[in-house]
Structures are given as C-alpha cells and as structure tokens.
Amino acid sequence: MGNQVGRKSANTFEIICHITTTKEFVPFSQLETAVNNVIQSFTGKDLNKLAQFSNKDFSLEILTRYLSVMINN
C-alpha cells in the first residue's frame, strides 16, 4: 500500500517475546508492570493516529521495536 492508509479495521495482536537482560535480576512483577503500562496506553486507540507511528508505514515490526524501547525504559 505504500504510504497510503487502508480502511480502518480492528486488529488484535498476539506478541510473543523472548526477554533477556544483561543487568541484575529483574522481578517478574516489575517486568509485568512495565509491559502493562505500555500496552494500556494503546488500548482502544487507532495506532496509525498516535504520534509514535504517524510518520511511518505501521507494521508489527515497528510496534515491536517501540515496545522493546518503552519496556526497557
């Protein structure tokens, strides 16, 4: 589709992550909180209209990279 936005449609993504750390031990509750905070910011929103994705052809790869950066912060 190039830079054209297609018809608006609802999508559900299943994201499977392999998570490693080069730092100290990270409690699961801390990781769970970080993931939930990022995911909640997308709930009920058109991802194509969010500032993070507005200048890109939205794809699952772009979403995954964004999630990785945000969860690591």
Widest CA span in the chain:
45
Cα 28 to Cα 55: distance, rounded to the nearest angstrom:
34
- The reported pLDDT for the residue numbered 2 is 56
pLDDT digits (tens, 9 = 90+) for 11-68: 677 777 777 767 788 788 988 898 888 888 888 888 778 888 777 677 778 888 888 8
Structural domain boundaries in the chain: 28-72
Helix 28-40 to helix 60-72 angle, to the nearest 10 degrees?
A: 130
**To which residue do tokens 């297609």 refer?**
6
pTM of the complete model: 0.58
What's the token pair of residue 45?
A: 């929103």
Answer whether residue 73 shows pLDDT above 60.
yes
- The reported pLDDT for the residue numbered 46 is 82
- Contact present, 48 and 54 (Cβ < 8 Å): yes
Answer whether residue 5 shows pLDDT above 60.
no
Q: Which of 16, 5, 1, 4 is nearest to 46 (CA)?
A: 5
